Structure 1
Amino acid sequence: MSPPIEKMDSSLNQLVNVKHLALSTNCIDKMISLPALKNIEVLSLGRNLIKKISGLEEIGSTLKELWISYNQISALDGLAPCVKLTTLFISNNKIKDWPELDKLQANQDLTNVLFYGNPIYEGLTKKQARPKVLEHLPKIATLDGELLTGDDDEDSLGGSKA
């Protein structure tokens, strides 16, 4: 078994044709720019030590999915360049303020998110957190692994099921 990777370095830019880069379950603490990865669609960095989302400017035009659960991330900065992002798995991090979700409104294609395990959910079940998430991100179709229905929209607007 190889020792864990401790940092992302520029040698990753040799993977010019990679579509899915999996670097999960390592000891990476910082994201870097990957300008040569012109075809990347999925970047998997779950179970690392990352504190800040960064370095996505160069791959934002192709990146569709960012899997970054189980890290130390407390802010949702750095995702605006990801214009094709549809999926953001960022559960079990340190996001504690609901207004952080507003930063994701710039990601117009974002429809699938995982937020559970973050401090914003503290004291709430997934179902109780749902209207709060929809208040900030009304276009979400799948939240925490569950497909949302029209009833979820009514619940988020204060309506009730008959």
Structure 2
Amino acid sequence: GFGRIENLEEYCNVKALFLEGNCFETLEGLPPLKSLKCLFVQQNCLNEISHLEELEGLDTLNISNNHISMIENLSCCPNLRTFTCTNNLLSTYESISHLAECKSISTLDLQFNRLDDPKILEIFKQMPNLRCLYLKGNPVVSQIKNYRKTLISSIPTLTYLDDRPVFDNERAICDAWANGGLEAERSTRTRLIEEEEGRRRRNHNFLTQLRANAVRDRRRRLGLPEEDSDPDLESLDDEYDVPEEPKELIQARKQFQAYLVEHGLEVGPTEAAVEPRTFCTSCVGP
């Protein structure tokens, strides 16, 4: 791969730049690309984040799989919303404290680093637009007691944490737990279940009433007496009458059973059933 960034000056209107899988040790050489929105420099040999000052319009930066031990120099990108820095060397509170100055970031991916200080939660609290946070693969996940409930209740803007979204019910439960402990959490769970059952019951009653109104309206249009039965279904009753089996079939089954007994053959449960049965004429041939 390439060892340095150069000769990009003529691409002044480029919006996405893919430089992954090279040998860059620095981002020096990036020209002032005013239109650049997305920069992908994962899988290089970068030791620091720098030379982004001229990229004021940058929206997405992926700097994963490098040798980054300190997040820095991002606040010069006021429009940065998605920052991905997985599989690097971040380990301490100080190594990511600069994120508190990056107010525009909404999606932050720090998976598979070495972060182990529960105090990093205070940094995320200072990010007013943080929506999606990924911390899987860091020791801090097991260091924070009640990890998921703690983060959700501490970051009110969060809508996605690690492997799944944060729905309204989960947030209500986490907030109750944070404010009133387990008792408040149980009470909130019970209330949410009752509210859901109430919604289902109201929907069922509404649909039942809707159907009943439709049946009454149909009977009225057909000049039938007012009842709850559907005239369209009543007309099907005669069509699907199920008659008894013909006497000839019953007699033939009995003769077959006698033949099996006479020749010492085993009589299975099917052959032993000689009582008249009913069948649907629409299911057999003439």
TM-score (norm 2): 0.47
Letter in 1 for 2:21: T
Residue 67 of structure 2 corresponds to 72
**TM-fit CA distance, 1:77:** 0.8
The structure-2 alpha-carbon separation of the partners of 1:132 and 1:28, relative to structure 1 and needing over 3 Å to count, comes to: farther
Contact 1:76-1:100 at 8 Å conserved across structures: yes
**TM-fit CA distance, 1:86:** 0.5
Aligned residue among 105, 126, 145 for 2:100: 105
Q: Using the alignment, how far apart are the partners of 2:92 and 2:15 within structure 1?
A: 32
Residue 6 of structure 1 corresponds to 3
Instruction: State the superposition RMSD in angstroms.
Output: 3.1
Q: Using the alignment, how far apart are the partners of 1:130 and 1:45 within structure 2?
A: 34
Contact 1:112-1:142 at 8 Å conserved across structures: no
Q: Using the alignment, how far apart are the partners of 1:79 and 1:139 within structure 2?
A: 21
Q: Using the alignment, how far apart are the partners of 2:152 and 2:28 within structure 1?
A: 29
Contact 2:49-2:73 at 8 Å conserved across structures: yes
Secondary structure of residue in 2 paired with 1:66: strand
The structure-2 alpha-carbon separation of the partners of 1:28 and 1:36, relative to structure 1 and needing over 3 Å to count, comes to: same
Aligned residue among 41, 50, 53 for 2:49: 53
Equivalent positions of 1:13-52 (< 5 A) are 13-32=9-28, 34-52=30-48
Contact 1:33-1:57 at 8 Å conserved across structures: no
Equivalent positions of 1:139-158 (< 5 A) are 139=157, 141-144=159-162, 146-149=164-167, 151=170, 155=174
Q: Are residue 122 (structure 1) and residue 143 (structure 2) matched?
A: no
Kindly indicate whether structure 1 or structure 2 has the higher relative contact order, using CA contacts under 8 Å at least 6 residues apart: 1
Q: Using the alignment, how far apart are the partners of 2:29 and 2:173 within structure 1?
A: 41
The structure-2 alpha-carbon separation of the partners of 1:19 and 1:154, relative to structure 1 and needing over 3 Å to count, comes to: farther
Contact 1:74-1:96 at 8 Å conserved across structures: yes
The structure-2 alpha-carbon separation of the partners of 1:147 and 1:108, relative to structure 1 and needing over 3 Å to count, comes to: farther
Contact 1:15-1:36 at 8 Å conserved across structures: no
Q: Are residue 88 (structure 1) and residue 83 (structure 2) matched?
A: yes
Contact 1:68-1:90 at 8 Å conserved across structures: yes
More helix by share: 2
Letter in 2 for 1:111: S
Once the two structures are superposed, residues 42-63 of structure 1 have per-residue CA deviations (whole angstroms, 9 ceiling, x without a partner) of 000001110100001111x200
Structure 2 unaligned blocks of 5 or more: 116-137, 187-286
Matched residue pairs, number?
155
Structure 1 unaligned blocks of 5 or more: none
Q: Using the alignment, how far apart are the partners of 1:102 and 1:65 within structure 2?
A: 19
Q: Using the alignment, how far apart are the partners of 1:134 and 1:52 within structure 2?
A: 33
Q: Using the alignment, how far apart are the partners of 2:83 and 2:16 within structure 1?
A: 14
- Identical-pair percentage: 24
The structure-2 alpha-carbon separation of the partners of 1:83 and 1:123, relative to structure 1 and needing over 3 Å to count, comes to: closer
Q: Using the alignment, how far apart are the partners of 1:19 and 1:130 within structure 2?
A: 38
TM-score (norm 1): 0.78
More strand by share: 1
